[in-house]
Amino acid sequence: MNNSPIGVFDSGVGGLTVAREIMRQLPNESIVYFGDTARVPYGSKSKETVTKFSEQIIRFLKTKDVKAIVVACNTASAFALPEISKETDIPIIGVVDPGAYAANKTTVNGRIGIIATEGTVMSDTYAKVLKGINPELQVFSKACPLFVPLVEEGWLYDSVTYEIADRYLHDLMSYDIDTLVLGCTHYPLIRRTIQKVVGDDVTLINPAYETAKALEKVLVDNGLSAENRKAEHKFYVSDSVSKFRTFALGILPCSVDYVECVNMEQYSE
């Protein structure tokens, strides 16, 4: 048994959809969440920059005595997971592998679509992981840069969002995919609009759900699960505390009492 918290980080607030799944599936586990709200988004930035920011965050999370780390950001998982794993000996899992394994289990015709940020698509990480699992799979990717701002604008079930989703997904649908990975943590929030565009014959994969399941396995395998108790969650951000709290309260099933602003520059090498 180990009651230390799980470190969860994201470029901003999107990773709260992953934190929410961990809270649901692993209610005894405390979370230390970090959202890099001063430097968000990561999805349009380079591998070098995303890796540097992620390394700083790992150093910060280590000061909070976390027993495992979840990279709750597809772009950071896609670009930086190998490098940041070198920063620490504790288990560290990203969202890409769990999402890819679930997509492989789900597909019948072997044709999988990935929608994600520009960075995640450019990295080609989902395709590489999927082909590693099964070289026969065919993977089709599409960057959807307007989805995050549409979610942040709150236009979740809007005619404009539908029109933009229709445009982004048109080519993917012509490839006859039967499985679509929501490869950015914001996308589950417009899941219904995306499902309407692709139709009920395409199964949507939410890596947040799969990542929480993968985390449970890692904790059990390493004897790191917390005992039965009331978990306590703490939140850290690099920009405004109040704006984060408002958004978090709309997503999480818990109160968001402890939020602190952190100056990330002190975690540079």
* Residue 47 Cβ vs a copy of itself, minimum distance, rounded to whole Å: 9
Has 73 been annotated as catalytic?
A: yes
Residues 85-92: contacts with CB under 8 Å, at least 24 apart: 87/55, 87/58, 87/59, 87/62, 88/58, 88/62, 90/66, 91/67, 91/218, 91/222, 91/224, 92/58, 92/68
Residue 260 found at the interface with a copy of itself (CB under 8 A): no
CA atoms of 90 and 109, how far apart (whole Å): 37
Contact segment (CB under 8 A) with a copy of itself among 106-114, 174-182, 201-209, 237-245 equals 237-245
Task: Residue 236: name the closest of 26, 61, 50, 54 by CA.
Answer: 61
Backbone φ and ψ for 136, nearest 5 degrees, come out as -80, -15
Residue 164 found at the interface with a copy of itself (CB under 8 A): yes
3-state secondary structure of 73: coil
Contact segment (CB under 8 A) with a copy of itself among 15-23, 87-95, 159-167, 200-208 equals 159-167
Q: Which pairing describes strands 6-10 and 203-205: parallel, antiparallel, or unpaired?
A: unpaired
* Residue 142 Cβ vs a copy of itself, minimum distance, rounded to whole Å: 13
Q: Which is nearer to a copy of itself, 91 or 145 (CB)?
A: 145
CA atoms of 38 and 169, how far apart (whole Å): 31
* Residue 102 Cβ vs a copy of itself, minimum distance, rounded to whole Å: 29
Contact segment (CB under 8 A) with a copy of itself among 3-11, 68-76, 150-158, 200-208 equals 150-158
Among 73, 144, 254, 261, the one annotated catalytic:
73
CA atoms of 54 and 46, how far apart (whole Å): 12
Has 184 been annotated as catalytic?
A: yes
Among 2, 25, 28, 39, binds a copy of itself (CB under 8 A): 39
3-state secondary structure of 143: strand
Among 150, 181, 197, 204, binds a copy of itself (CB under 8 A): 150
Residue 245 found at the interface with a copy of itself (CB under 8 A): no
The catalytic residue positions are: 73, 184
